[in-house]
Amino acid sequence: MRSGKIIKLVEDRFGESAGGVISNLLLLGHAQVSDLEDAYGVASKTQSHIQTGAYQMNTEGLSNGTDATYKSENYINTLGHLHAVLDQLLQSGYIKPLFKRDFYPPADIHFEAQLVVRADPKYPKGDLKGKQKQEFEEDVWNLKRKWRDEHDPSSTKSTFGTTKLSGGSLTIHSNKRQKLSDKFANGVNGIHGDSIDDFKGRLNGDVVLVINYDKVNVVLRNQQLVDLASRYIGDTTSKVYEALLRQLEEQLPRLYDDFEEYEDEMSEWTAAPSVTISQIMAVLDPSVDLTSGLPDDDPPNTGLKGGSPKDEQDFKSDSGIGVDEDAEDTRATIETTERRALVERHVRMLGKDPRQFAEWHRGQEFKVNFRRLTRILVQTELEKTIQARFGRLGVRIVRILHTNGAMDVKQIATLAMVSIKGILQSLGALKEAGFLINSDMPKGTRYNSGSVVQLFSFDPDIARKLVLTDTYKAMARLLQRTRFEKEKVQAVIDKAERSDVVGKEEQYLSKGEKEALRGWKAKEEKLLTQLGRQDDLVAVLRDFPMPSLREEPK
């Protein structure tokens, strides 16, 4: 299910041709550059089972359900176009080169690093002890980080482009590189028009490419944060937030760095990348109306006396600029200044929200505390699940315990503003389902079954694992139901997919067969939609959470 989301994400940002390349890599797992050249027919006439267009293609190379005159405007039909798309995906981090060591399990990589470091003459033979042993472990740690980063094009420590392989250099770039931030005619970072012919860079044909799921998870997490901001603040502010996160993505190759250790959350936040208002404006859609979604009691600070036409005239008169001379440039300057002030107001609204989607750093720089926001994402999904199963009272109990820690029944009832009798049933249901932990504490120094206090507590991590397990089961049942529903109309589906029937369904299918086919498609759409929602939940509960600080990766 996530494959479709990845393809849609890449198509929206880089165009349909890039989405087609991503679709092929998802289908094959990994592929050599030379194989992609052959499959797209830009290196030879060799035919392949790889999809050769932006859309899924059949064996004749035509889009399913279309005639021979159809061709996508982003169809890859030149070698330069293919390498331009691959280069853009590599530099943005959505794909990465695959090397032999990437197939090793973590234990083997660690063992190999130990052997390499142990061969250093500074370490004597025999067992290492004390400070020398600690230094040895640090060197192993640093070597593993170097191996990870040296071939990553999106990493600032990458040596990508200079590494030598048996077949030559990894990349052969021309002096004139295509900038990733360039805007093209269609409004997205696609490869179109003259940029195809101008691109002279080439990848070594022996390089193996694979989807970089670390980078994809960063983008998917940011999408969840944008949806959360839209829910609590508004659509316009969420678009500004999307632009802010878009700029941070370039500095975040993965959700978290396994090889970085921080003393506390503040030190991690200090080391996090920042973004300025100017950077946000560079990627923000100019068509967004920034005046909506702002409180009326917070007037903009544009650097002018106001935002009216009279103030604009005063600005031009004070500056010595004639009304007829450079009028358009002056108006553009004023509009940019006002828009900058509106963007800053939206960003500050993100910081004023209780969830603190963005935090001021210094000057006009802002940062995002992804660790805390990820915890909020997880807690939000847990509360949604609990509310669906146990109602609003169940959510209220969980919020009270999550905020205050372990409490007895009387304390919970007081804060929930519900009688003890009315809350016992919800407490019992939550405990039986595994969302609450119950423990007995003696009132005195000795344990006596007649004088104990029952304390209830809520552990987000236990609840997260519980909901994740239930989600896996739900996904398995959805897949089984989909397979069962398909088997009931399999004969009709087989007939509709015959080459002599495709495009002529009205002629060859009976009324009952067409109704059965429409019914199956409607059921399949509902089941797959639900499956996609479950996959979003899995991503939030399993893939996005960051490990505890000072905890070594397993």
Instruction: State the pLDDT at residue 217.
Output: 95
307 plus 362 within the same structural domain: yes
156 plus 38 within the same structural domain: yes
Q: Are residues 485 and 523 in contact, defined by beta-carbon separation less than 8 angstroms?
A: yes
In a domain, 76, yes or no: yes
Q: Are residues 54 and 19 in contact, defined by beta-carbon separation less than 8 angstroms?
A: yes
Q: Are residues 463 and 435 in contact, defined by beta-carbon separation less than 8 angstroms?
A: yes
514: which residues sit within 8 A by CB, 6+ positions away? 505, 506
168 plus 42 within the same structural domain: yes
Instruction: State the pLDDT at residue 298.
Output: 61
Q: Return the ∠ at Cα 354 (arms to 353 and 359), rounded to 5°.
A: 65
List per-residue pLDDT tens for the chain, 554 residues long: 789 999 999 999 999 999 999 999 999 999 999 999 888 877 644 444 454 443 333 333 333 333 333 334 457 888 888 999 999 999 999 999 998 888 899 999 999 999 999 888 888 877 888 888 889 888 999 999 998 888 666 555 544 543 333 333 454 444 343 333 333 333 344 555 445 555 667 888 899 999 999 999 999 999 999 999 999 999 999 999 999 999 999 999 999 888 888 888 888 888 899 999 999 999 999 999 999 888 876 655 544 333 444 444 444 444 444 445 566 667 777 778 888 999 999 999 999 999 999 998 888 899 999 999 999 999 999 999 999 999 999 999 999 999 999 999 999 999 999 999 989 999 999 999 999 999 888 776 666 666 788 899 999 999 999 999 999 999 999 999 999 999 999 999 999 999 999 888 888 899 999 999 999 999 999 999 999 999 999 999 999 998 887 544 43
287 plus 425 within the same structural domain: no
In a domain, 434, yes or no: yes
Q: What are phi and psi of 97, to 5 degrees?
A: -75, 145
CB atoms inside a 10 Å sphere around CB 238: 22
Edge-to-edge strands, sheet with 208-211: 30-32, 208-211, 95-98
Q: Where are the alpha helices (DSSP H) in 250-301?
A: 265-271, 277-283
225 plus 340 within the same structural domain: yes
Q: What share of the chain is helix, strand, coil (3-state, %, to 5)?
A: 55, 10, 35
Secondary structure of residue 364 in the 3-state scheme: coil
Q: Taking each helix axis from N to C terminus, what angle separates 420-433 and 409-416, rounded to the nearest 10 degrees?
A: 110
In a domain, 108, yes or no: no
Give, as one character, the DSSP assignment of residue 417: T
In a domain, 317, yes or no: yes
Strands 171-172 and 168-169: unpaired
Instruction: State the pLDDT at residue 333.
Output: 79
433 plus 500 within the same structural domain: no
| Domain range for 397 | 386-458
Identify the residue whose tokens are 């996904």: 475
Domain total in the chain: 4
| Nearest partner of 546 among 359, 374, 369, judged by Cα | 374
Secondary structure of residue 306 in the 3-state scheme: coil
326 plus 261 within the same structural domain: yes
Q: Are residues 259 and 148 in contact, defined by beta-carbon separation less than 8 angstroms?
A: yes
Instruction: Mark which of 419, 443, 458 sits at the end of a domain.
Output: 458
| Nearest partner of 505 among 68, 65, 71, 67, judged by Cα | 65
| Nearest partner of 139 among 267, 253, 259, judged by Cα | 259
Round to whole Å and give the CA distance between 499 and 502: 5
531 plus 446 within the same structural domain: no
Instruction: Mark which of 368, 403, 435 sits at the end of a domain.
Output: 368
405 plus 486 within the same structural domain: no
170 plus 61 within the same structural domain: yes
In a domain, 375, yes or no: no
Q: Are residues 495 and 512 in contact, defined by beta-carbon separation less than 8 angstroms?
A: no
Instruction: State the pLDDT at residue 128.
Output: 81
Round to whole Å and give the CA distance between 514 and 505: 8
In a domain, 141, yes or no: no
Give, as one character, the DSSP assignment of residue 97: E
CB atoms inside a 10 Å sphere around CB 468: 15
115: which residues sit within 8 A by CB, 6+ positions away? none
198 plus 267 within the same structural domain: no
In a domain, 40, yes or no: yes
519 plus 504 within the same structural domain: yes
Strands 437-442 and 407-408: unpaired
Instruction: Mark which of 211, 238, 257 sits at the end of a domain.
Output: 211
Instruction: State the pLDDT at residue 241.
Output: 96
In a domain, 143, yes or no: no
